[in-house]
Copies of this chain bind each other. A is one copy, B any other.
């Protein structure tokens, strides 16, 4: 298949590009280096050394495997770039990671919030129009997030909810209560994609993904130059990855607030499996299909204790700190999201184990000299003091 990977330079995008290329698909990866630029501005960086550009990564991949990955350095918000890509590559599947993926980034200030929503909403609109006008039979596999749902007091279903109300019933989009303006941007995307599928007969799968952890994929293991990025800073580092770095460098694991916040998690190798399953089992024309993409749920406290235990087993001194929660979120809540559809398609989960955490410790230990200790603690607050202090109207 001809598979277009938007955001192909990212933590998940690059491993996905290699994964499909290794399996004989024709892969074209697109990225505008938004993540690299955001790191440069913040003074942070990936823990793992990665090559300087997508063309260099593709050359290394070709050198190692003899397989070709096409690349474009460009922005999906730029219509001319996207249109040309669709006209020349004629994708059969589009895997869309090409977004600003950080909740803290979106909550930093007005400009970052506006940029996040502009970038994500306009990029996805462009993809939908490109499909409508150039590749109506292609299948969009779009990365959403479990954070679109929030933490309602009922079971979370996969995208839709059968509602019985005043003696009638209907199946409706599952109500969304996003936890940041980034998560809200993904809700906007879901609304637009559902509309486009219904109105234009497009096919799309929304992968509402949990928090991804891990550093190692079969293709990345082939050569150090093929490593994916690994973020551990306050903006792009997610809970488990950041905890592992903190354990290795002897800093306390920073749990935000009480630690009862429970979310879905999955190993990076399961992300690759899930995306492949979605691509190989396409949605039907007019269908906006939604999968919840995670394999297990953990509270922050669960995760921190698991990392602490694994750390002590290998001789690390690990302390767990509870910080004032920078986010506005429920710290004790019901959480029971469905996640059977990908299992039904054949997903074989790699569950979190101390062995996996220990292998992450080893990978991190190879690069401790690269750890930037600033910017690991949260500076962005969801409800900043200025809001509390502002004079009344």
A-side residues, CB < 8 A to B, are 79, 90-92, 110-111, 113-114, 117-118, 121-122, 125-126, 129, 132-138, 152-155, 161, 163-166, 168-170, 172-178, 180-181, 184, 187-188, 191-192, 194-195, 198-201, 328, 334, 382-383, 386-387, 390, 392-393
User: Taking the nearest CB of chain B, how far is it from the CB of A89, in angstroms?
Assistant: 10
Residue pair A129, B113 in contact (C-beta under 8 Å):
yes
In the complex, what's the smallest C-beta–C-beta distance from A288 to chain B, in angstroms?
A: 11
A157, closest chain B residue (CB):
B165
Task: Specify which chain B residues have a CB less than 8 angstroms from the CB of A382 in the assembled complex.
Answer: 199
Asked, given contacts A122-B114, A199-B328, A328-B199, whether A154 binds B170 with beta carbons under 8 Å apart, the answer is yes
Contact call A390/B134, Cβ cutoff below 8 A: yes
Whether A113 pairs with B125 at a CB distance below 8 angstroms is yes
Chain B residues closer than 8 Å to A154, beta-carbon distance: 163, 165-166, 168-170, 172
Q: Assuming the A-B contacts A125-B117, A383-B200, are A334 and B168 also in contact, with contact meaning beta carbons closer than 8 angstroms in the complex?
A: yes
Grouping DSSP codes into helix (H, G, I), strand (E, B) and loop, the A interface class, with mixed when no group exceeds half, is mixed
Cβ-defined partner of A165 (8 Å) among B161, B170, B176, B198: B161
Indicate whether A188 sits within 8 Å of B121 (C-beta atoms), given known contacts A154-B170, A173-B176: yes
When C-beta atoms are compared, the residue in chain B nearest to A135 turns out to be: B393
* Min C-beta distance of A71 to chain B, whole Å: 21
Given contacts A135-B393, A188-B188, A200-B387, 6 further A-B contacts (CB under 8 A): A113-B125, A113-B129, A114-B122, A152-B170, A161-B163, A168-B334
- Of the A-B pairs whose beta carbons lie under 8 Å apart in the complex, a sample of 22, sorted by A's number, is A79-B110, A110-B126, A114-B122, A114-B125, A117-B122, A117-B192, A118-B122, A121-B121, A132-B386, A133-B386, A154-B165, A161-B165, A163-B163, A175-B175, A180-B195, A181-B192, A184-B191, A187-B188, A199-B382, A200-B383, A201-B383, A201-B387
Q: A152-B170, A188-B121 are in contact. Are A198 and B328 (CB under 8 A)?
A: yes
